[in-house]
Amino acid sequence: MNKTTNPSIESFLPVEENSHFPIQNLPYGVFQPCDNSMPRIGVLIGDWILDLSVLESEKIFADVLGGDSSLFAQRYLNTFMTKGTSVWQAVREIIHDLLRDENPRLRDDLALRNRALKRASTSRMLLPVQIGDYTDFYSSREHATNVGKIFRGEENALPPNWLHLPIAYHGRASSVVVSGTPIYRPQGQRYDRTSEKPVFGPSTELDYELESGFLIGVGNQAGNPISIDDAGKHIFGMVLVNDWSARDIQRWEYQPLGPFLGKNFATSISPWIVTMEALEPFRCEGPIQNPQPLDYLKHKENRSYNITLEVSLKTEKMDSTQRICRSNFKYLYWDINQQLAHHTVNGCNLRTGDLLASGTISGPAEDSFGSLLETTWQGTKPLQLPAGETRRFLEDGDTVIISGWCQGEDYRVGFGEVVGKIYPAK
């Protein structure tokens, strides 16, 4: 623990109990104020966004950033993300110190406060990073086993390579969108069992996937793998991910090359990037790996995190949301450092802003399954909802809300939400 994660420190700004965004969090995001002025970079604390471009104009970061005088008056976080861990840590410490309840610098300067603090509720959140590449892993043993049982039977649930390497595929970066962006039902080919031929039309098996993701800060040169011990130096922070999936389209197209139109129509992420430093107090053991992974995937420290994850659903007939899943990031068999080391072991070059997602995060119990595919067991056990509604898969008008947080003794460090509402196919 360092001073920025000390649970005894409080801010001069009021932060509600169980808020995801106390002074120990300080996630980064890109926002546009209510006056529709230019987007800029901010940090969230409680219900307030601290406009870092204002602090930058006051030379508050000058000792750290030197001649870089416009890092935070930008549409994306990418430039700041290239600066590396020492700069990330130094800027975080300055922000943390400025927000402490005993520091008068911002607390007592009303003119500066009025310029630098914006109500989060009146600001529009934007995609925080310019994402050049997107990779989606398949790292939950429970999820992979469930899917294998559904499609291949219990005896062949896990592919023979699954326990030896983090399986992944390359997704579509252009369709990664920020929370709140409408999700239009995708169209494509699917196999009609009745007629025994392919048909075209809107997906009838639209699903969510409960995932997390991490963003690359500092990339690597082509041909130079990132070792598992150095992986943390390249990770800027984490977000929540909903990697929407059209199961019927995917089932017809995926052999032999894997996901395509069933996955590339939309991936939603939460707007606030939680730094690895904020998550450090919640590091924990992951699942025991047996057989032992190869040397390049072995590490000595606990590299998982105790992050509670929830999925809620709201249909157009419901007055409030209903929780349909509670899982945890710590269930992931392959952790983010192993994912990063494996991704680059062949010399693949990652770049600032690249998004690497976990794959669906399911737990051991039925109420911890991270997709409707599993919860309804391919639609054979419909989900029961209020007012007599049921769901095999998502219907038009449904809203899916994913939330996640780490619980400390007297505070939470959270991600907020990633929200998506389903609209009819265009």
Let me know whether 360 and 387 are in one domain: yes
Based on the domain organization, do 36 and 162 belong to the same domain?
no
* 350 CB-contact burial (10 Å; exposed 0-12 / middle 13-18 / buried 19+): buried
Q: Are residues 203 and 326 in the same domain?
A: yes
Q: What is the CATH classification number for the domain harbouring 51?
A: 2.30.30.230
Residue 56 structure tokens: 């930058």
**Distance (Å, whole) CA 219 – CA 234:** 6
Instruction: Find out whether 138 and 87 touch, Cβ atoms under 8 Å.
Output: no
Cα separation, 186 vs 263, in Å, equals: 9
Q: For residue 401, what is the domain's CATH number?
A: 3.90.850.10
SS3 (DSSP) at 323: strand
Q: How far is CA 162 from the centre of its chain?
A: 23
Q: How far apart are CA 203 and CA 186, in angstroms?
A: 6
Q: Are strands 304-305 and 183-184 parallel, antiparallel or unpaired?
A: unpaired
Boundary of a domain, candidates 126, 161, 191: 126
Give CA torsion, residues 87, 89, 93, 96, to 10 deg.
Answer: 110
- The C-alpha angle 257, 258, 263, rounded to 5 degrees, equals 140
The total number of structural domains in the chain stands at 2
Hey, which residues does 383 pair with through a beta bridge? 391
Q: Which residues of the chain have pLDDT under 70?
A: 1, 67-68
Is 365 exposed, middle or buried, given 0-12, 13-18 or 19+ CB atoms closer than 10 A? exposed
Helix (H/G/I), strand (E/B), else coil: 289:
coil
The shares of helix, strand and coil residues in the chain, as percent rounded to the nearest 5, are 25, 30, 45
Model pTM score: 0.97
- CA dihedral defined by 87, 93, 94, 99, rounded to 10 degrees? 150
For residue 40, the cross-strand partners are 31
> Which tokens hold the place of 94?
């300055």
- Residue 308, classified by CB atoms within 10 Å of its CB into exposed (0-12), middle (13-18) or buried (19+), is middle
Are 412 and 312 part of one and the same domain? yes
- 387 shares a domain with 273: yes
Mark whether 212 and 80 lie in a shared domain: no
Shared domain check, 214 and 351: yes
Range of the domain at 16: 3-126
Q: Over the range 248-268, which residues count as b (16 or more CB within 10 Å of their CB) and which as e?
A: bbbebbeeeeebebbbbbbbb
The verdict on whether 143 is a catalytic residue reads: yes
The verdict on 154 and 10 lying in the same domain is: no
Among residues 109, 126, 143, the one where a domain terminates is: 126
> Where a domain ends, among 98, 126, 154?
126
Identify whether residues 164 and 32 lie together within a single domain. Answer: no
Are 11 and 43 in the same domain?
yes
Helix, strand or coil, per DSSP, at residue 278: helix
- 66 and 152 housed in the same domain: no
391 & 346 share domain: yes
pLDDT of residue 182: 98
Amino acid symbol at 147: V
Catalytic residue among 96, 143, 234, 342: 143
